[in-house]
Amino acid sequence: MESLTITGTNCTPHVSFNINGRLSFEGRSLPENAEQFYKPLQQWLINLSAEKVTFDINLEYFNSASSKKILDLLKTLDANSRVKNLQVNWHYEDGDDDTLEAGQIFEEFMNRAVFRFLVFEEAA
């Protein structure tokens, strides 16, 4: 298994999945075909074997199709028995209650994952 990096675009997030358990999503997620974009990511997470996983999710915008796929990714990680410790760092902009609420809803679907909600200031 190798690390996975996908350069972000205006419609898809920058993805950095490292076999050492450091995972990150940054940018925007509104791919034309969410299934096509997210399927290989989910397959990678199914095969991940790491004692500790930290998943940083820092999306400035994601559409409803992406929301479902992000939840699928999180559920896949949460159910992966080869991942012993799972932490999700959910980043959201100060005042962006919708993104914060989405993360809180995702947290409710998890059994083992520990969520940290991290606020940041809008870039000038």
CB 8 within 8 A of CB 23: no
Percent of the chain with pLDDT over 90: 95
Enclosing domain of residue 18? 4-120
Task: Mention every residue, 6+ apart, whose C-beta is less than 8 A from residue 45.
Answer: 17, 73, 76, 77, 80
Q: How many domains does the chain have?
A: 1
Q: At what angle do helices 97-108 and 64-79 cross, to 10 degrees?
A: 40
Q: How many CA atoms does the CB half-sphere of 59 hold within 13 Å?
A: 23
Averaged pLDDT, 4-30:
97
pLDDT tens column, 36-64 = 999 999 999 999 999 999 999 999 999 99
pLDDT of the residue at 123: 57
pTM above 0.85, yes or no: yes
pLDDT of the residue at 120: 83
pLDDT of the residue at 121: 72
Output the six-digit token pair for 97: 């209650």
pLDDT tens column, 59-111 = 999 999 999 999 999 999 999 999 999 999 999 999 999 999 999 999 999 99
CATH number at residue 9: 3.30.750.24
Residue whose pair of structure tokens reads 């100060």 in the numeric block:
94
Output the six-digit token pair for 23: 């995972």
- DSSP assigned state of 95: T
pLDDT of the residue at 65: 96
Residue whose pair of structure tokens reads 């999503």 in the numeric block:
25
